[in-house]
Amino acid sequence: MSPYSTTTRSTRKNRIESLPIPSRKDENYRFTSLSNFNLQQLNPSIAHPPKTVEPAPEGFQLAACTYPGGLAIALESSSHEGLHLSPFEDAPEAIFQKHRAAFDLPQALDADLFANLSAGRCENELLIHVTEGKKITQPLFLRNFFPSTDQAFYSRTLIILEANAELELAQEFVWDGIESLIQPFACGLTQIVLGPGATLRFSTVQNWNPNTEHFSRTYSVLQEGSQLTLNEVHLGGLKNQTRHLTHFEGRNSQSLHTVTALAQNSQQMDFWIDAVHQGVGSRSDVEVRSIAQDKGQIVFNGKIRIEPTAPQTAAYQKNPCLILSEGAVIRTLPKLEIQTDDVQCAHGASISSVDEDQLYYLASRGIPENTARTMLIEAFKAPGLRGVSNPFTKSWLSKNLALTEEEQ
Amino acid sequence: MKPILEIQDLSVEVESKKVLHHVNLSIQKGEVHALMGRNGSGKTSLSYTLMGHPKYRVTSGRILLDGEDLAGMSPSDRAKRRLFLAFQNPVAVPGVTIASFLRTSIRSVRGDEVPAKEVRKLIREELAGLGISETFMSRFVNDGLSGGEKKRLETLQLRLLQPKVAILDETDSGLDVDALKAVTSRIESLRSPDRSFLLITHYQRMLEAIRPDVVHILMDGTIVKTGDASLAKEIDEQGFQSIHEASAQL
């Protein structure tokens, strides 16, 4: 057993006790209300492995299924040369020693209650490691399964790609579809470490039970010349608070990050995305596409920080928003912190409803208004596939975004 | 004979501003009418009203297409009755590919008339006729297209949707000589005893390629003069000023 479980978990459990539940004053970025939030009632569930495990979508290989209190590795590490999949406890000593810091919580998340909750209460952490120079050609699939019988689900995933390694990964967050009176609570932490020249293409779909309170944290470290492509789709949950913190440590490291969020009924979604540039010539491109209808609420709090060590950085954040109902609310809060010259930096937001002139144009070609409206909403969501080249990933994301596949 | 398009005493306002006053116009099957006028005279307002733009409110009069009153009819229902408007400045629709748009439009307007497997063949033939590459189909509707490409796309739709009445709003503007020739020849070839046109233009040059049967002059939202093709030539030579002065004296 690695020393991880006896040190980090207990450290983080102690840290949870010292951290207050953040108020809106502490975290002005969010809509999600944490009143009536009782951590004592949210102890980790006893493991209930799913009775049946759905196969991965076409073209993917199921790698692991995480569920409250448990983790099932579906793929033998030996099935792909250079790939290691295991619980943290079974991490090879060499990997653990090399990336010891990553097995703990980074300093930047030390005061983050939800990151501590994941690190302290999750006892089924998943390690994915790809060795130097290895390219895993088959896209892998991770499933986080939250049955209606459980109340709390803590998960943690550490993805490490050594130098020049390559991986295509998809992850879904799903429930069993059975209505229950339990108010589910999901708390997840994902850490990504990309070695020099490594490439990770990572797509996620969050489609929890509509009553779920979901808090996720993703911390990424990008070394020289590494590339991270992230495509996220957020559909489910009652409250959904998602925080990304990316450190562009290495020269010419880059990320392309696209979020598509649909908040309907009374859903609240908060996205807090920070890009911290430390390496020369690094590049971040974040686009959060927000669609709110009914009484849905979405807030995007984006921050670009360019440190003195990172000239020639290019950093962009965009937040196009579509409001489909009068009661829906969208807020965008961009921030720039630039500490060096010779950078390109921009942020922008646009908020609109479905364009009446576009509707009229499509209708003038015989397209019924409802169909025209659907076409325009699909057109708004379609850039959610930005940067996706794998046809299976594209098809899986398209299905979740309810996009009509182009006829050939 | 019953006109295919009849505009009777039509008055229209947009955002409380009166833009058309008691317009009367009647087009028979197979006729080509030209509507000329200065900028701001109401030409585009008339075309938008005919196509059912929700912002254009008919305050009096009516529009009959093949004897059917279009009042209260949605733009898509008008299109399904084979009324077509080629826009002067078609709006960009980023995210909707031309291929998907055309297929949806053809199916909506022509229904089962064109079998699904024929649609692609038909589109390919029309693209070739207009000198447009097939890669054009994967671009977004009017997004990032040049002025000439937009006009070609409008003409492509005109040919694919096979309307009974086509209103072409300044389809000649922004086209170079070669593009104008390509576009007008494709329009001219659609001319038939079963299809009528209302050509909206400032200039004579389009009317040299597609000779109109009747020419109307619109000023300040009112048709002030109607004549044959020679009226367009007269405007080309003398401008609208003389007609403006004559109408002012009435």
Residue A322 lies in a domain: yes
Which backbone phi and psi does B108 adopt, to 5 degrees? Answer: -70, -40
Residue A400 lies in a domain: no
Is the confidence at residue A29, as pLDDT, over 60? no
pLDDT at B228: 95
Residue A90 lies in a domain: yes
Q: Which domain holds residue A194?
A: 4-355
Confidence of residue A32 (pLDDT cuts 50, 70, 90): low
Is the confidence at residue A206, as pLDDT, over 80? yes
Is the confidence at residue B238, as pLDDT, over 90? no
User: Is B76–A376 a contact, with Cβ atoms under 8 angstroms apart?
Assistant: no
User: Is A360–B53 a contact, with Cβ atoms under 8 angstroms apart?
Assistant: yes
Residue A292 lies in a domain: yes
Longest CA–CA separation in chain A, Å: 68
Which strands form A126-130's sheet, in the order they lie side by side?
A: A83-87, A126-130, A152-161, A185-194, A213-222, A239-248, A268-277, A297-306, A329-338
d(CA B87, CA A31): 43
User: Is A367–B105 a contact, with Cβ atoms under 8 angstroms apart?
Assistant: yes
Confidence of residue B249 (pLDDT cuts 50, 70, 90): low
Is the confidence at residue A295, as pLDDT, over 70? yes
Confidence of residue A161 (pLDDT cuts 50, 70, 90): very high
Percentage with pLDDT > 90 across chain A: 80
Question: In this predicted model, what pLDDT tens digit does every residue of A223-253 receive, in sequence order?
Answer: 999 999 999 999 999 999 999 999 999 999 9
Residue B49 lies in a domain: yes
In terms of pLDDT, which residue wins out, A168 or B204?
A: A168
Q: In residues, how long is chain A?
A: 408
Is the confidence at residue A301, as pLDDT, over 60? yes
- Token pair belonging to A119: 């690190």
In terms of pLDDT, which residue wins out, B22 or A4?
A: B22
pLDDT at A355: 93
User: Is B90–A361 a contact, with Cβ atoms under 8 angstroms apart?
Assistant: yes
pLDDT at B8: 97
Neighbouring CB atoms inside 10 A of B159's CB total 19
- Helical residues (DSSP H) of A204-337, grouped into ranges: none
d(CA A261, CA A224): 31
pLDDT at A38: 79
Neighbouring CB atoms inside 10 A of A160's CB total 25
Domain count, chain A: 1
The dihedral over CA atoms of B204, B207, B211, B215, expressed in degrees to the nearest 10, equals -70
Residue A371: strand pairing partners = none
- Helical residues (DSSP H) of chain B, grouped into ranges: 43-50, 75-80, 98-110, 116-129, 147-161, 177-188, 205-209, 229-238, 241-249
Region A289-295 average pLDDT: 97
Is the confidence at residue B20, as pLDDT, over 60? yes
Q: Which of A170-174, A329-333, B20-24 is predicted with the least confidence, judged by mean pLDDT?
A: A329-333
Is the confidence at residue A1, as pLDDT, over 70? no
Q: What is the separation of C-alpha A285 from the centre of its chain, rounded to a whole number of angstroms?
A: 15
CATH number at residue B244: 3.40.50.300
In terms of pLDDT, which residue wins out, A30 or B161?
A: B161
User: Is A379–B53 a contact, with Cβ atoms under 8 angstroms apart?
Assistant: no
Region A173-201 average pLDDT: 94
User: Is B95–A361 a contact, with Cβ atoms under 8 angstroms apart?
Assistant: no
Per-chain mean pLDDT for chain B: 91
Which residues of chain A neighbour B51 with C-beta distances below 8 Å?
364
Residue A378 lies in a domain: no
Region A336-362 average pLDDT: 94
Which residues of chain A neighbour B123 with C-beta distances below 8 Å?
none
Tokens 């996220």 identify what position? A232
User: Is B94–A364 a contact, with Cβ atoms under 8 angstroms apart?
Assistant: no
Tell me which residue in B78, B85, B91 faces A358 most closely, judged by beta carbons.
B91
- Chains A and B form CB pairs within 8 A to the count of 83
Q: What is the separation of C-alpha A140 from the centre of its chain, rounded to a whole number of angstroms?
A: 16
Residue A393 lies in a domain: no
Domain count, chain B: 1
Residue B196 lies in a domain: yes
Instruction: Check CB contact of A104 with chain B, cutoff 8 Å.
Output: no
Confidence of residue A77 (pLDDT cuts 50, 70, 90): confident
Residue B119 lies in a domain: no
Confidence of residue A407 (pLDDT cuts 50, 70, 90): low
Confidence of residue A391 (pLDDT cuts 50, 70, 90): very high
- Per the CB < 8 A criterion, the answer to whether A358 and B72 are in contact is no
- Per-residue b/e over A317-347, b at no fewer than 16 CB within 10 Å? bbbbbbbbeeebebbbebeeebeeeebebeb
Residue B93 lies in a domain: no
Of the residues A260, A322, A362, A403, the best mutation for testing chain B's interface (the one with the most B CB atoms within 10 Å of its CB) is A362
Residue A100's nearest CA partner among A2, A196, A166, A218 is A2
- Per the CB < 8 A criterion, the answer to whether A261 and A271 are in contact is yes
Question: In this predicted model, what pLDDT tens digit does every residue of B121-142 receive, in sequence order?
Answer: 888 888 888 888 889 999 999 9
pLDDT at B250: 59
Instruction: Check CB contact of A406 with chain B, cutoff 8 Å.
Output: yes
Residue B214 lies in a domain: yes
Residue A4 half-sphere exposure toward CB, CA atoms < 13 A: 29
Is the confidence at residue A398, as pLDDT, over 70? yes
Region A115-124 average pLDDT: 93
User: Is B105–A366 a contact, with Cβ atoms under 8 angstroms apart?
Assistant: yes
In terms of pLDDT, which residue wins out, A13 or B50?
A: B50
Q: Which domain holds residue B186?
A: 5-88+162-249
Instruction: Check CB contact of A320 with chain B, cutoff 8 Å.
Output: no
User: Is A382–B95 a contact, with Cβ atoms under 8 angstroms apart?
Assistant: yes
Residue B45 lies in a domain: yes
d(CA B38, CA B221): 11
Residue A100 lies in a domain: yes
Q: Which of A203-217, A267-281, A324-338, B109-123 is predicted with the least confidence, judged by mean pLDDT?
A: B109-123
Of the residues B93, B155, B159, the best mutation for testing chain A's interface (the one with the most A CB atoms within 10 Å of its CB) is B93
Is the confidence at residue B187, as pLDDT, over 60? yes
- Per the CB < 8 A criterion, the answer to whether A199 and A232 are in contact is no
ipTM topping 0.85:
yes
Of the residues A360, A401, A406, the best mutation for testing chain B's interface (the one with the most B CB atoms within 10 Å of its CB) is A360
Pairing type for strands A83-87 and A126-130 reads antiparallel
Per-chain mean pLDDT for chain A: 92
pLDDT at A361: 98
Residue A119's nearest CA partner among A247, A264, A219, A52 is A219
Residue A404 lies in a domain: no
pLDDT at B172: 86
Region A119-135 average pLDDT: 95
Which residues of chain B neighbour A368 with C-beta distances below 8 Å?
74, 76, 108
Tell me which residue in A355, A364, A378 faces B75 most closely, judged by beta carbons.
A364
